Amino acid sequence: MSAQPAKTLRETAAEYGLKSEEYDVILQRLNREPNPVELGVFSVMWSEHCSYKSSKKHLGKFPTTGPRVICGPGENAGVIDIGDGQACIFKMESHNHPSYIEPYQGAATGVGGIMRDVFTMGARPIALLNALRFGDPSHPKTKRLVSGVVSGIGGYGNCVGVPTVAGETNFHRGYDGNILVNAMCVGLADADKIFYSAAPAAGLPVVYFGSKTGRDGIHGATMASAEFDDASDEKRPTVQVGDPFAEKLLIEATLELMASGAVAAIQDMGAAGLTSSSVEMAGKGGVGIELNLDMVPQREDGMSAYEMMLSESQERMLAILKPGREADGQRIFEKWGLDAATIGITTDTGHMVLKHQGEIVCDVPLAPLFDDAPLYDRPWVATPAQPRLSPADVPTPADYADAVLKLMSAPDMASKRWLWEQYDRHVMADTLEDSATGADAGIVRVHGSRKALAVTSDCTPRYVLNDAYEGGKQVVAEAWRNLTAVGADPIAITDNLNFGNPERPEIMGQIVRAIEGMAEACRALDFPVVSGNVSLYNETNGQAIPPTPTVGAVGLIPDYARRADFAGMKAGDALVLVGDTTGELGASMYLREIVGREDGAPPPVDLAQERKVGDIIRNLILSGQVTVVHDLSDGGLIAAAAEMALASKLGLRLTAPEGVAVHAALFGEDQARYLIAVSDAAAVLDAAKAAGVTASVIGQAGGEDIAVEGLFTLPLAKLRDAHEGWMPAYMGG
């Protein structure tokens, strides 16, 4: 039998995700063929995950500055000023591909990775959020994926001791072959003690600390930049393995090292591991770097230079120390029981030089790796616009009570108690509102002050699918509304843009239009983007996920005594609907869950109106006049009312708004609306009238039923059973 011919480097490059024309560019940059180690380094740095080569052109459309922005995109995380010399540092990241292949470790290491992005800038993590999208509940893989992902998030976050306070979970057949696991971390730091990744000069020691390097996660960044097929389970070795106890030690050691004054620059080892961290630190600083890989702490024998550079083993950091401060670092690392070693030095060559076993195994200029990666202006076509549906186009329910029960027990709308009860929501003892309490955003107290941070994660993929531009606007507006509804001043967002294959013009069209819609909303609402992540190639066998540009947002509450939730409704309270109702049923939950259709234009987003109505709501909360507020979103008025009733353990009676077909008034998902419960409605009505905003009393709290006058009466206990029952029955069945 004849031996297989040896692969050419060009063929190997293709296996690593590099196109033939990209390989040609490498040849031009080096003026020679790369060796296998160099090829590996180029392949991860030029992957979509690390280089943003398909999206960078369009990401520049986002507003990224503002009066409170200390550091926008380009660093490990965004930094905003929250007053009193304090800063909030936050970011959202995806771990989609690893979580589909190995749900527990994929989700766990997603949590670990996003925390490192935050504490590598000097912040102590204080809150975690997640945005999860799973396939159809009936799909044979879905239940196992839900169980593994939730266990992974809880297992890691709970052990590290950071509360998981908010998030969202959706189910749809569009995610059958590619689930989404987006994790967000929020941290606190002194505004004058922020740490950055750029190496400041040549001649400084490069120190590795944390866990040893193993063979897990090799080519993880490349795997995250490719679509799946039927053999995707074979990619399990590309998934990293996390150790939350090591992460806890790493957090404490990193923060102590920073406090010692020894750090000149620092970077966590995330996607592409030691390659990415060293390239970015040297590239941002305009210096070179030389590493001796023999010095890298290794947990496996006989590791090659290629394996060490491309491993994505978790819980590792790379620091550049000030001259003569290695001993300070070593003392701290020994105290916390971490492996550490000086593995290199910054240089003035502008090159990355790697030595292993006495040989130079890599010598490449940094510029092509760091800021000269291929950038594409990919062709795109916009998705044809869906027609706007009038209420007459959508059937009314045969039985309104049954429709409400069915809506509130649908997988997307049903209680996720089974899920969030597995997360520690109160560790650190500063959580004021979380998934259990009935509020539109999680709220975490800024320790030792009266201030609090409100945090939320939002996306409505069905809107973005039907109209990427309006859907993009709505993603940002929804996040802004959720912060407003708890009384927070919205400050900034991070984003996690999850899409399919950008080489397909229709997918690229979704990306472009969603970004343009999001950017418009950010500008109109003074809500800049300070960090983010792009996750593309989320598809299997050519079937892309619904476009899912998730937004994580942070707002500031000046005094946490002046905040709102939707769980404090009292008997006799008037229910006031603020904002215009026209009855938008296109792409609505009612249309999908009750009628069985997913067509129609999503509700339009009037950003000026969003701002006008939101400002009124926030002022009413901050003045102490209102404490019970819920924004209207999925499921419309009846869903918001039902959620208020369930959270408050109190019934209510509504009168359907006039001038709109009843089913459209109850289930329509018109934007820029809030439902308020208040003992005296006059102040709310006066404030709305003064601002030229529609507001009316549409019901009253009390009793043990949820009812609409002349239409239906539904016992709250029956609604609760349906709402609370779906997920335990599903996961236990």
Residues 6+ apart with CB under 8 A from 719: 404, 405, 408, 642, 645, 646, 706
Query: Whose CA is closest to 366, among 449, 478, 498, 276?
Result: 276
Output the six-digit token pair for 58.
Answer: 């369009």
Pairing of strands 164-171, 288-292: unpaired
- Can you tell me which residue has the tokens 């029955």? 729
pLDDT band at 215 (very low <50, low <70, confident <90, very high): confident
* Backbone CA torsion sign across 668, 672, 676, 681: negative
Question: Annotated catalytic sites, by residue?
Answer: 49, 95
Cβ atoms within 10 A of the Cβ of 299, count? 14
CB 46 within 8 A of CB 22: yes
Least-confidence region, from 85-99, 225-239, 329-343: 225-239
- Separation between Cα atoms, residue 711 and residue 322, nearest integer Å: 73
Between these two residues, 255 and 656, which has the higher pLDDT value?
Answer: 255
Q: Where does the pLDDT of residue 369 fall: very low under 50, low under 70, confident under 90, or very high at 90 and above? A: confident
Residues 440-466, mean pLDDT to the nearest whole number: 97
Query: Is the pLDDT assigned to residue 236 strictly greater than 50?
Result: no
Tens-place pLDDT, residues 144-192: 999 999 999 999 999 999 999 999 999 999 999 999 999 999 999 999 9
Asked whether the CA dihedral 347, 350, 354, 355 is positive or negative, the reply is negative
Rounded distance, CA 109 to CA 641, Å?
38
pLDDT at 531: 98
Look-up: residue for tokens 């609409």? Answer: 708
How many beta carbons lie within 10 A of that of residue 110, not counting itself? Answer: 26
Listed residue (216, 223, 287, 305) closest to 50, CA to CA: 223
Q: Kindly report the CA angle at 44 between 43 and 46, in degrees rounded to 5?
A: 70
Residue 239 confidence (pLDDT) = 73
The three-state secondary structure class of 118 is: helix
| Arithmetic mean of pLDDT, 221-241 | 60
The helix/strand/coil state of 450 is coil
| φ and ψ of 33, to 5 deg | -80, 140
pLDDT at 231 over 80: no
pTM: 0.96
Across the range 394-404, mean pLDDT stands at: 98
Q: What percent of the chain has pLDDT over 70?
A: 96
Tell me, what's the pLDDT at 237?
58
d(C-alpha 642, C-alpha 628), whole Å? 14
**548-579 pLDDT per residue, tens:** 999 999 999 999 999 999 999 999 999 999 99
Average pLDDT score over residue span 576-603: 98
* 518, 495 contact by CB (below 8 A): yes
pLDDT band at 238 (very low <50, low <70, confident <90, very high): low
- DSSP-derived letter for residue 591 is I
The two structure tokens encoding residue 314: 């978790």
**Phi, psi of 669, deg, nearest 5:** -115, 40
Of 50-59, 477-486, 695-704, the poorest mean pLDDT is in 50-59
pLDDT of residue 229: 60
pLDDT (tens digit per residue) in 425-438 = 999 999 999 999 99
- Cβ within 8 Å of residue 591, ≥6 positions away: 389, 394, 585, 597, 598, 599, 600
Convert the pLDDT of each residue in 257-298 to its tens digit.
999 999 999 999 987 889 999 999 999 999 999 999 999 999
DSSP code per residue over 321-360: EPTT-HHHHHHHHHHTT-EEEEEEEEESSSEEEEEETTEE
pLDDT given for residue 225 in this prediction: 58
**Pairwise CA distance, residues 74 & 80, whole Å:** 14
CA angle 49, 52, 54 (to 5 degrees): 115
HSE (side-chain half, CA atoms, 13 Å) at 442: 31
Average pLDDT for the chain? 95
pLDDT at 564: 98
